[in-house]
Amino acid sequence: MPNYLSTINSPADLKRLSLEQLNALAREIRERIIEVTSTAGGHLASNLGVVELTIALHRVFDSPRDKIIWDVGHQSYAHKLLTGRREQFGTIRQAGGLSGFTRREESEHDFFGAGHGSTSISAALGFATARDLRGGKEHVVAVIGDGALTGGLALAALNQAGHAGRDLMVVLNDNEMSIARNVGALSAYLSSLRSAVEPHVRRARAETARLLSRWPLGDSVLEALDRFKDGLKHLVVPGMLFEELGFTYLGPIDGHNLGQLIEILESAKRLPGPLLVHVVTQKGRGYRPAERDPRRFHGTTPFSVDNGETEVSPTATFGQVLGQTLIEMAEHDPRVVAVSAAMLDGTGLAEFKRRFPDRCFDAGMAEEHAVCYAAGLAAAGLRPVVAIYSTFMQRAYDQIVHDVALQGLPVVLCLDRAGLVGDDGPTHHGAFDLSYLRHIPHLTVMAPASAGELRRMLGTALSLPGPAAIRYPRGPAPEEALSEGPAECSETNPPAVGQARVLREGTDCALLAVGPLVWAAKEAAARLAENDIQCAVVDARFIKPLDEALLERLAREVGRLVTIEENALAGGFGAAVAEFLEDRGLSDCRLARLGLPDRFVEHGERADLLAGLGLDASGITAAVRQLLFPAAGH
């Protein structure tokens, strides 16, 4: 059998293939995406859903002259395969390999980097404006999913684009999902566009088929009727919302019918002004396990191609611990409610939603709204817990400051995926949350090192009269006891605000660690003890407020401190300790700060990234030796 994918070195190669060959190419692309993600993990369901759409776009338009701008970027795998990255595709999301998202540095066909949702229309309007100012003629296309369309950024861009009237095409990839099933009025509106005329068209077709079956040419006429059906839908169900915003609306279109896609896109690119092409696709298309459970295969770990099964970790993740603990607390306190932004599964809230459907709220892919909505819930007497990934919480910064903290409202912010997330890379690393939270007045900031600590901290946060934030990393939450000193707090006796834990006493140096890096600090201290270097180990627990009494004691008695955090050094925990020492006149205390450097960290295995940045036991050991024996050059 021909291998068409091996002949595609650029989008221009698509123009010589027949429709039959393009459909065969679509099958090959799906097979390659499944093969690679089954071994390396990645975003599977979303990429399988846009294969035909990607082929059609690159067949009709002339990239890189024409600009195709992908929203989020996690559905760009077929795009990468068609734009000269076929041979490198097996390296995707691996250290030194291709990014799992679009990236300007990677290809001349990646015009705008993306990892967060709702950006493509704004960026595309920028490209269209620049084109018009310099007298260019190229086409500009934004490809956005229906989930990303719920973000305020996308709606604001639609508003301006419609008003500006520039030549711009927005392709709405409508699969009824973002990560999970979409919610909200806009999703319901799109559903009505998909379904309004289908029952009538199906009934009319069935009746016509019965009548035509008596005629010699009945089958041919019926085929013509099927081709006419989609045009009829365009007349009966216009996209009035988009038309009112100033867009010419075309759709809904079958996103897996290559012939129809190419025909519509060829016609659409000749139309002037803003266009919205509504394409309906199936997430997970072509792989039965992903079709049945697209939520699980949105972002997947390695799996068996035969049955789609993945290896399940025996240790609960921090997100799962949060969800279970929140269920237990909600059973005793009817004020406790949960809020997330299109990621109930990823943040561990799916079971809470099943148990308390009226007390769990998915705000859609709109983090700003989610936090402000939670502020309203809190102002009305409820105790909202908002679970959002650290990198996405950045989008709600103003709401945290203006709507939550300024008003002193008891909103609990749970920042999942804090620190390095691994193979999703710089768009998804939670590298900055301590820096952008620490300086906000009235906000208590915590970081658990274990599952038990997360449970206790959630109790502390929900007992406070004002706002609190809890940040924790992706992955398993250790259950082992950390303490070698005083007994840990019980779950009925959560930690007092600002109370750190001394896990090990020492006289030569004190290691002050944040979150699960406490484990690496303990291992480093044990290694150093083998060489008669006695290091105290402290689980900081609170980034704000600091345990000032403990810090002052260690600064005076030990005199050498090392702070260890999975956050940017600028403005993070170490910076807070440095400020404290300066303010207290303890500048004689020598301080070394370990954390994330002033650059965007690339993608790769999380453990490898930490080791490369000196945030594992070996790196901490080396930093202590350098602090104690600077002349030795270690």
**Mean pLDDT value of segment 335-355:** 95
Q: How far apart are alpha carbons 2 and 545 in whole angstroms?
A: 65
Indicate if the pLDDT at residue 509 is higher than 80.
yes
Q: What sign for the dihedral angle of Cα 339, 341, 342, 344?
A: negative
**Mean pLDDT value of segment 492-521:** 93
Instruction: Kindly indicate the confidence band of residue 195, based on its pLDDT and cuts at 50, 70 and 90.
Output: very low
Q: How far apart are alpha carbons 584 and 576 in whole angstroms?
A: 12
Task: Tell me whether residue 23 is exposed, middle or buried, using C-beta atoms within 10 angstroms of its C-beta: 0 to 12, 13 to 18, 19 or more.
Answer: middle
Q: Are 139 and 109 in contact (CB under 8 A)?
A: no
Model pLDDT for residues 129-160, shown as the tens digit of each residue: 999 999 999 999 999 998 888 888 999 999 99
Name the helix (H) or strand (E) containing 119.
none
**Candidates 395, 438, 456, 522; catalytic one:** 395
**Mean pLDDT value of segment 356-374:** 96
Model pLDDT for residues 381-390, shown as the tens digit of each residue: 999 999 999 9
Task: Tell me whether residue 588 is exposed, middle or buried, using C-beta atoms within 10 angstroms of its C-beta: 0 to 12, 13 to 18, 19 or more.
Answer: exposed
**Candidates 28, 52, 367, 488; catalytic one:** 367
In the annotation, is 203 catalytic?
no
How far apart are the two ends of the chain, measured CA to CA in Å?
60
Strand 590-596's sheet: what is its strand order? 501-504, 535-539, 509-513, 560-568, 590-596
Chain-centroid distance of CA 297 in Å reads 14
**Candidates 283, 285, 471, 522; catalytic one:** 283
Q: How far apart are alpha carbons 154 and 244 in whole angstroms?
A: 16
Q: Are 627 and 621 in contact (CB under 8 A)?
A: no
Q: How far apart are alpha carbons 296 and 300 in whole angstroms?
A: 7
Q: How far apart are alpha carbons 513 and 563 in whole angstroms?
A: 6
Domains with residue ranges and CATH for the chain? 5-196+237-292 (3.40.50.970), 318-471 (3.40.50.970), 502-632 (3.40.50.920)
For residue 2, the model assigns a pLDDT of 79
Distances (CA, A) of 608 to 111, 139, 307, 391, 615: 30, 42, 30, 20, 10
Model pLDDT for residues 264-297, shown as the tens digit of each residue: 999 999 999 999 999 999 999 999 999 999 888 8
In the annotation, is 522 catalytic?
no
In the annotation, is 367 catalytic?
yes
Beta-bridge partners for 386: 339, 413
Nearest to 187 by CA among 170, 171, 172, 202: 172
Q: How far apart are alpha carbons 442 and 407 in whole angstroms?
A: 9
Measured N-to-C along each axis, helices 185-195 and 198-212 cross at an angle, to the nearest 10 degrees, of 10
Q: Which residue has the tokens 């820096």?
A: 435
Q: Which two tokens stand for residue 404?
A: 């939550």
Q: 486-514: string of b/e by CB count within 10 Å (b at 16+)?
A: eebbeeeebbebbebbbbbebebbbbbbb
Q: How far apart are alpha carbons 341 and 347 in whole angstroms?
A: 10
For residue 295, the model assigns a pLDDT of 85
